[in-house]
């Protein structure tokens, strides 16, 4: 845990490889900024999508709100079956409970990175579709 008055550099944080629960498929590489500062009510992750990977399976949340902000590369987002190509500086937000199934993926030839921000809702259910 970092003193909140001292900055940290993203390169100081260790990445962990997410894996799909059902298949074991490798997903994004995640660095947790919220864990570094012991934040309890918000999740802030720096995520890297290697070529050919996705961040999750298609899902939505009953209580959690999410936002992504693209830092590098050109990932895509699939939202209710529609694909949106993203670029650095683009942001997408997903309100809780609206049922927009979504996920971010990288089908380009270079890695992509983004910030993922979400509320920490205790009663949240993740619905995979």
- Of 94, 95, 98, 101, residue with least CA distance to 80: 101
Predicted confidence at residue 46, as pLDDT, reads 98
Q: What is the CATH number of the domain that holds 116?
A: 2.60.120.10
79 lies in some domain: yes
Q: What is the pTM of this model?
A: 0.90
* 3-class secondary-structure state, position 34: helix
Specify the number of domains making up the chain: 1
Taking the CA atoms of 109, 111, 116 and 122 in sequence, report the sign of the dihedral they define: positive
78 lies in some domain: yes
Phi/psi for 48 (5° steps) reads -115, 130
Predicted confidence at residue 51, as pLDDT, reads 98
Domain span at residue 51 reads: 28-123
User: Would you give per-residue pLDDT tens digits along the chain (129 residues)?
Assistant: 555 678 999 999 999 999 988 889 999 999 999 999 999 999 999 999 999 999 988 887 787 889 999 999 999 999 988 999 999 999 999 888 887 889 999 999 999 999 999 998 888 877 888
Which residues are CB-neighbours of 83 under 8 A, at least 6 positions away? 76, 77
């Amino acid at each position: 845990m970092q003193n909140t008055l001292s900055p940290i550099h993203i390169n100081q944080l260790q990445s962990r490889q997410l894996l799909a629960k059902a298949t074991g498929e490798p997903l994004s590489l995640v660095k947790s900024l919220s864990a570094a500062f012991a934040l309890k009510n918000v999740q802030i992750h720096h995520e890297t999508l290697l070529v050919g990977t996705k961040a999750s399976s298609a899902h939505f949340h009953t209580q959690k709100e999410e936002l992504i902000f693209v830092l590098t590369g050109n990932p895509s987002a699939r939202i209710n079956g529609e694909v949106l190509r993203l670029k650095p500086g683009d942001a997408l937000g997903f309100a809780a409970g609206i049922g927009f199934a979504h996920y971010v993926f990288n089908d380009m030839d270079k890695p992509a990175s983004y910030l993922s921000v979400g509320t920490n809702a205790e009663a949240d259910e993740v619905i995979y579709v």
